[in-house]
Structure 1
Amino acid sequence: MRRLIFITTVPVTLSAFLLPFARHFRTQGIQIDAMAQGISTSSECVEAFDRVWEVKWSRNPLAPRNFLQAPRVVREVVEREAYGLVHVHTPVAALVTRYALRGLRNRGRLKVVYTAHGFHFYQGGNVVKNAIFLGLEKLAGYWTDYLIVINREDERAAKRYRIVPPNRVRYMPGIGIDLSKYSPRKVQEAEVERVRAELGLKSNQPLFLIIAEFTTDKRHRDAVLAFACTSHPTAHLAFVGTGAQIAKIKTLVQKLGITDRVHFLGFRHDIPALIRASITTVMPSIREGLPRSVMESLSLEVPVIGTDIRGTRDLLQGGCGLLVPVGDVAALTRAMTWILDHPEEARNMGKLGRQQMAAYDLRHIIAQHEALYAEAMEKDHHTFS
């Protein structure tokens, strides 16, 4: 039996994105394990993987402890369990793991695949930070067999800077979305009405929705300022998520006098119903890899207003949403107003989005991983799986 291990910084990455891969490969007779900090407390991960392993590291990629204890733990587990393939996700886990396994890899003991969920260097980013993170990626590229990128900007960057040899760069459109789950037909009208009733919305009151952690990179402030400038007093805005910046955003909402039309919903389990209850979702971020909430919205036939950045740009090409410059509150206001004034055209955008999501179907992405793993192990597809 071949053995594969996924390694991420924290278990939420595994539970949010990678459980379908674990379930699929286990049905193919492959032992698939996982490693992350705090993974033993995640019941979903414990159930989905054959074995789980704990490792301690910091989410700060430059923290000294990442290169003291963690590399030894990673190396000992991988060597003892004789994994043939290691697939790493998220920046800290990817950097530390590849550093830890460089010796084993050089001896031909295993293959290492890295999925970059959005490089920490990007167009428009801070010059100094871009240089640091590009340097780290180029260094770790020496310890990488295959690099998976999930948007076209990162694909061009990986090849331009030769992070790994170009023939070992693989573009895949994200980690996939289950179109059978995120489907308008799966969301009952009663669920939509329940959500709208919870928010106190009447039938003629449109809702904007933002699904994002409250961090400075997500630029919730821009959305609040733009929303306050729209000339539709019946419209409402709802935020799903938590984070360090939420208090500042609540204060801004109060200062603008729109508390009666803005809702902070925290963490939710009914995302599909919330999306279907909205006229559009909004993603005003400065940096993304391939935003999951945009994929979910388009899959549910709800258009998106997003900033013209990597990932979001890929998803909204072809007219299934509106792109605005990062930080341009006036442009964001115009986009929100256009959606309000053109409901029929907005609905058509959403339907187009559903069609475009076919390329991101989870089944296709799993098949691409199967093919890559087979290539990495120098076996044909059927032998590996």
Structure 2
Amino acid sequence: MSGVKGKLLIVATVSGTLSGFLLPYADHFRSQGWIVDGAAQGVTMDPECHGHFDNLWEIEWSRNPWSWGNLKAGAQISDVVRRNCYDIVHVHTPVASFVTRLAVGVKHDLEKLRPVKTEDNKRRPVLVYTAHGFHCHPRASFTQKVLYCALEKLPARYTDALVVINREDERLARALRLAGSGHVYYMPGIGINLDAYSRRNVSFSELRAIRMELGLAPADHLFVIVAALMPGKRHQDAIRALSITGRRDFHLALAGVGPELERLRTLAAQLSVAARVHFLGRRSDVPQLLAAATALILPSDREGLPRSVLEAMAMGTPVVGTRIRGTRELLEEGAGLLVEIGDAAALASAMQWVVDHPQESAALAERAHKRVRRYALERIISLHETLYEQLLDRP
């Protein structure tokens, strides 16, 4: 293949991971002469992925790690890798990363046992795994730690490079040897486009349109959560905090979709704050929404390196988050406010503090804005370039 620098397969469990986070990587490496393919469930039907990859491969993963359907998915991804002779296979998200590394690694081991040597048993692609937050983290239960650490170690022998996106996971990966004989690399997240997330690009008319959409009075304060409506994001704590404040000029907007929607609607009604809790669904105007917000809230019980916090930092919007891995790393040293998981009263106090102390809140946001530059997308892509070059140069 004259002129082709290399062949890269980017793998995730669902297409939303590719379209939501990884398209800039596909675009960049294709522009550098790579052939870049994508594999995920639903990817061939995802219009956002078309045009960014050379080929798209549909893999029938189940998000349930215990599903027998993942055996079929393992055979599918192994076949895709075998037929296309990739130089690097880069996996993301727990199920896809676990199954892909095992399927490709075991397949290669079996091929090596064949008496007749072929290209299939001479060559295995480099396997890179980006962990977006280990499940066997310190806050997990003992059973979870044992189980998920065992699962992480199982495909570790086939991992040539393990990329972690926060320092806590880096320490864990090195202590438990989760990369096997491969190497652990720290990269600060998967990058944020600082041009897209800039207040300079948000007009007054856009801010006014959001406030009109939500029916806000001029003196009302808007708190925003940008996260899927999943149990681990703990939106209920923010709804309870809104009720605890007793402030009728406080509004909460939830941007995201997920299975918790009806339960959260019911809770808001039970607490008599339904008129001030706005369910926005999936939004394409997150920069404008963050610019209109008094603060971003993220009450999650587990994160890797939360994208919404980085987005708020880039927009100069104050952040209130929980004292957990990833969020703590971003907001420590006076870059935001931290509360304990599940402490709705503390969350209410933090919301009140942001409004009552506008100058101090602005100072927090300014420190965060200066810090966010180290997470710039172009820097993280450059780190991936260096990593790929090092891996391909190995004997």
Quick one: structure 1 residues 352 and 32, their matched pair in 2 at CA, closer, same or farther if it must change by over 3 Å? Answer: same
Q: Partners in 2 of 1:108 and 1:160 — Cα distance?
A: 30
Distance 1:236 1:177 in 2: 27
Query: Comparing 159-168 with 356-365, which one deviates more in the overlay?
Result: 159-168
- Once the two structures are superposed, what CA deviation does each residue of 1:134-172 show, in whole Å capped at 9, x if it has no partner? 100011111100000011111111011111258710010
Question: Is the counterpart of residue 27 in structure 1 residue 27 in structure 2?
Answer: no
Query: Any conservation in 2 of the 1:158–1:166 contact (CA below 8 Å)?
Result: no
Equivalent position amino acid for 1:101 in 2:
V
Q: Distance in 2 between matches of 1:171 and 1:249?
A: 36
What letter corresponds to residue 55 of structure 1 in structure 2? I
Which residue is equivalent to 2:393?
378
Q: 1:167 to 1:4 in 2, by over 3 A?
A: closer
| Structure 2 equivalent of residue 75 of structure 1 | 78
Alignment equivalent of 2:345, drawn from 324, 330, 336: 330
Match 1:42 to one of 46, 51, 73: 46
Residue type of the alignment partner of 1:289:
G
Deviation at 1:131, TM superposition (A): 1.4
Query: Does the Cα contact within 8 Å between 2:162 and 2:182 map onto a contact in 1?
Result: no
Alignment of 1:245-264 (within 5 A): 245-264=260-279
Q: Tell me if structure 2 keeps the 8 A contact 1:105–1:112.
A: no
Residue in 2 aligned with 1:61? 65
Matched, 1:92 2:95: yes
Structure 2 CA distance for aligned equivalents of residues 86 and 132 of structure 1: 26
Distance of aligned partners of 1:310 and 1:342 in 2 relative to their CA distance in 1, 3 Å threshold? same
1:364 maps to 379
**Identity between Structure 1 and Structure 2 (%):** 45
- Is 1:345 aligned to 2:360, yes or no? yes
Structure 2 length-normalised TM: 0.93
Which residue is equivalent to 2:314? 299
For residues 103 and 243 of structure 1, the distance between their equivalents in structure 2, rounded to whole angstroms, comes to 35
1:130 CA displacement: 2.0
CA–CA distance in structure 1, aligned partners of residues 49 and 258 of structure 2: 23
Does structure 2 conserve the Cα–Cα contact (< 8 Å) formed by 1:159 and 1:166? no
How many residues are matched? 379
The Cα RMSD (Å) is: 1.5
Does residue 1:233 correspond to 2:237, yes or no? no
Query: 1:105, 1:143 within 8 Å by CA — same for their partners in 2?
Result: no
Match of 1:169 among 184, 207, 219: 184
Q: CA deviation at 1:373?
A: 0.4
Which residue of the partner structure matches residue 383 of structure 1?
none
Q: Distance in 2 between matches of 1:187 and 1:198?
A: 16
Structure 1 position 23, deviation (Å): 0.6
Partner of 2:104: 101
Counterpart selection for 1:210 from 225, 229, 233? 225
Shift of 1:108: 4.0
User: What SS does the corresponding residue of 1:354 show, helix, strand or coil?
Assistant: helix
Aligned partner of 2:219: which letter?
N
Superposition deviation, residue 85 in structure 1: 0.7
Q: What's the offset of the Cα at 1:242?
A: 1.6
Could you tell me how far 1:231 is from its partner in structure 2?
Answer: 4.2
SS at match of 2:51: helix
Where structure 2 has 5 or more consecutive residues not aligned to the other structure, the ranges are 110-121
Note if contact 1:223-1:329 (Cα within 8 Å) is conserved in structure 2: yes
The aligned counterpart of 2:10 is: 6
Name the SS for the 2:91 alignment partner.
strand
Which structure 2 residues correspond to residues 170-209 of structure 1 after superposition, within 5 A? Answer: 170-209=185-224
Give the residue type in structure 2 aligned to 1:80. Answer: R
Q: Secondary structure at the match of 2:86?
A: coil
Query: Residue 237 of structure 1 contacts residue 263 of structure 1 at CA under 8 Å; is this kept in 2?
Result: yes
TM-superposed deviation, 1:44: 2.1
Give the partner amino acid of 2:376.
D
| Separation in 1, partners of 2:181, 2:261 | 41
Give yes or no for contact 1:89–1:114 (8 Å, CA) kept in 2: yes
